[in-house]
């Protein structure tokens, strides 16, 4: 009897000790086991760690992923001095976002510039199509030029002309969609991202791109009012797509996109709570562990994505102190933090800062190299800049540009904080 009681007490102590383990320790253990499993799968063998076969570790894939992400996001909070906040808290001071104009040095662009003052730019575009019309880059560059010269309708017409080339390449469709977002045509951009997702369902970027354009369209109050039923469907689907990125199992070279998608999912959840009337808040929401829920306190967020797989583009931020934040120095003394260096996928790379100090933040993109051919040339990047992340006075600007020369550092723009 005494022996039985002793065993019972020992068993209870083991249970208590396991319960007292921190979430971080548990997450680290499971994360390590997932890495071992991935290595085994890559080598064609099946490896099952002892811990995963016990009842204590018999968790759903979502639970395992929750713990892995919790470990990563804990590191994010610590390294960036970030914390969860009530969404309607104090905001960063007035910010001015200035993006650099795309100015490719090509013969056809010189002709467009010469014709701009006389209002003949579109006619010159038509005249030059015979010589450059087989190049998607020609249409993209001309569309950007027309948009910057206050001719958005013509810019959209030029962009959609690319589709007539019959080049159903996901990379090309993605870039056209990025450009359509820049000129404000979210409907066609949405359709193109739907096509990309159908072609590339194995890539988390496909889900994230579609989620972001659906959310972008939903955030337009006039569009929500005019299309209430479609708007509810869009925001529900956008959140479901981001949830799929967070909890999906992706190629190891694409991992940690989950953290970026989680930030974006929490932003949408907060906006739904704030923007929708009570009678419409019953839309479908993804099931999210409470430990992963909440908007991070971020005053400045800069995200860089690109169109080409197996490509390395680096986000560089020069802070007002003169300090450069990039892959080799991902943390700064004022709290800036850069995400993982993606060297083989589409990104994204992300810079976040809780409380920006006054001054100028320079944004640059370094094209390090690629192992994949692209119809548009080396690589096209998409930069999205946010101030006062997820707050009522949030500001957002986007820019798409092409990087032509390997190892060049291109200026994207700057943010000035007063």
pLDDT tens for 394-411 read 999 988 887 776 677 778
The answer on pLDDT for 110 being more than 60 is: yes
Is the preceding omega at residue 348 within 30 degrees of 0, hence cis? Answer: yes
Indicate the pLDDT class of residue 60, thresholds 50, 70 and 90.
Answer: very low
More confident residue, 356 or 44: 356
CATH of residue 300: 1.25.40.10
Which of 136, 238, 157 is CA-nearest to residue 193? 238
Question: 249-258, 270-279, 403-412 — which is least confidently predicted?
Answer: 403-412
- Domain shared by 43 and 145, yes or no: no
Cα dist. 77→89, 98, 263, 273, 348 in Å?
A: 18, 28, 12, 24, 19
Cα dist. 395→80, 95, 376, 391 in Å?
A: 21, 9, 30, 9
The answer as to whether 68 is a domain residue is no
- Domain shared by 8 and 113, yes or no: no
Residue ranges making up the domain that contains 25: 1-49
Question: 93-102, 140-149, 264-273 — which is least confidently predicted?
Answer: 93-102
- Domain shared by 184 and 330, yes or no: yes
- Domain shared by 271 and 123, yes or no: yes
The answer on pLDDT for 202 being more than 70 is: yes
- Domain shared by 204 and 142, yes or no: yes
The answer as to whether 27 is a domain residue is yes
Q: 389: buried, middle or exposed (CB in 10 Å: 19+, 13-18, 0-12)?
A: buried
Residue 137 tokens read as: 């880059």
Tell me which DSSP letter residue 301 carries: E
- Domain shared by 158 and 226, yes or no: yes
The answer as to whether 308 is a domain residue is yes
Tell me which DSSP letter residue 316 carries: E
Say how many domains are in the chain. Answer: 2
Indicate the pLDDT class of residue 68, thresholds 50, 70 and 90.
Answer: low
- Domain shared by 44 and 99, yes or no: no
The answer as to whether 81 is a domain residue is no
The answer as to whether 64 is a domain residue is no
Polymer length of the chain: 418
Backbone angles phi, psi at 287, to 5 degrees: -80, 115
pTM (two decimals):
0.76
The rounded distance, in Å, linking the Cα atoms of 72 and 392 is 28
CA angle 152, 232, 387 (to 5 degrees): 55
In this structure, are residues 262 and 292 in contact, taking their beta carbons and an 8 Å threshold? yes
- Domain shared by 33 and 140, yes or no: no
* Helix intervals (H) in 276-310: none
Question: 20-29, 93-102, 105-114 — which is least confidently predicted?
Answer: 20-29
Which of 242, 238, 270, 338 is CA-nearest to residue 86? 270
The fraction of the chain above a pLDDT of 70, given in percent, is 70
Residue 29 tokens read as: 């253990």
The answer as to whether 381 is a domain residue is yes
Q: What is the 3-state secondary structure (H, E, C) of 157-209?
A: HHHHHHHHHCCCCHHHHHHHHHHHHHHCCHHHHHHHHHHHHHHCCCCHHHHHH
- Quote the mean pLDDT of the chain: 78
- Which run of H or E residues covers position 126? helix 121-132
Look at residue 314 and give its three-state secondary structure: strand
The rounded distance, in Å, linking the Cα atoms of 132 and 130 is 6
- Domain shared by 30 and 177, yes or no: no
Residue 179 tokens read as: 């450009």
- Strands of the sheet containing 409-417, edge to edge, are 95-99, 409-417, 359-370, 311-318, 324-325
- Domain shared by 361 and 295, yes or no: yes
The rounded distance, in Å, linking the Cα atoms of 33 and 28 is 9
Cα dist. 318→299, 347, 356, 388, 410 in Å?
A: 16, 20, 12, 19, 13
- Domain shared by 293 and 383, yes or no: yes
- Domain shared by 174 and 259, yes or no: yes
Residue 93, number of CB atoms within 10 A of its CB: 14
């Amino acid at each position: 009897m005494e022996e039985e009681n002793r065993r019972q007490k020992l068993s209870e102590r083991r249970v208590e000790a396991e319960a007292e383990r921190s979430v971080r320790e548990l997450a680290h253990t499971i994360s390590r086991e997932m890495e071992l499993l991935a290595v085994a799968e890559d080598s064609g063998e099946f490896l099952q760690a002892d811990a995963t076969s016990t009842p204590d570790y018999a968790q759903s894939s979502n639970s395992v992923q929750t713990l892995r992400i919790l470990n990563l996001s804990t590191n994010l909070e610590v390294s960036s001095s970030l914390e969860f906040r009530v969404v309607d808290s104090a905001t960063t001071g007035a910010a001015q976002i200035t993006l650099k104009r795309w100015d490719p040095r090509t013969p056809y662009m010189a002709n467009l510039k010469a014709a701009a003052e006389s209002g003949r730019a579109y006619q010159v575009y038509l005249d030059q199509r015979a010589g450059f019309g087989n190049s998607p880059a020609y249409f993209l560059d001309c569309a950007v030029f027309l948009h910057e010269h206050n001719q958005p309708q013509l810019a959209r017409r030029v962009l959609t002309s690319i589709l007539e080339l019959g080049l159903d390449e996901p990379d090309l469709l993605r870039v056209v969609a990025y450009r359509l977002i820049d000129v404000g045509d979210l409907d066609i951009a949405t359709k193109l991202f739907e096509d990309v997702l159908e072609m590339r369902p194995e890539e988390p970027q496909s889900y994230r791109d579609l989620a972001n354009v659906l959310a972008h369209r939903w955030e337009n109050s006039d569009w929500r009012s005019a299309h209430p039923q479609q708007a509810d469907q869009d925001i529900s689907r956008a959140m479901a797509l981001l949830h799929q990125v967070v909890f999906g199992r992706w190629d190891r070279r694409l991992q940690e996109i989950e953290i970026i998608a989680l930030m974006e999912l929490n932003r949408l959840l907060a906006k739904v709570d704030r923007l929708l009337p009570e009678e419409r808040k019953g839309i479908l929401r993804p099931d999210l562990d409470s430990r992963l829920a909440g908007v991070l306190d971020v005053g400045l967020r800069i995200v860089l994505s690109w169109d080409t797989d197996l490509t390395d583009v680096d986000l560089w931020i020069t802070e007002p102190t003169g300090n450069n934040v990039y892959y080799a120095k991902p943390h700064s003394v004022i709290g800036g933090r850069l995400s993982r260096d993606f060297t083989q996928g589409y990104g994204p790379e992300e810079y976040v800062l809780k409380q920006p100090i006054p001054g100028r933040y320079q944004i640059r993109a370094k094209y390090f190299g690629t192992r994949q051919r692209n119809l548009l040339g080396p690589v096209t990047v998409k930069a999205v800049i946010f101030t006062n992340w997820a707050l009522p006075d949030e500001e957002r600007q986007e820019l798409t540009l092409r990087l032509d020369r390997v190892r060049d550092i291109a200026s994207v723009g700057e943010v000035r904080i007063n």
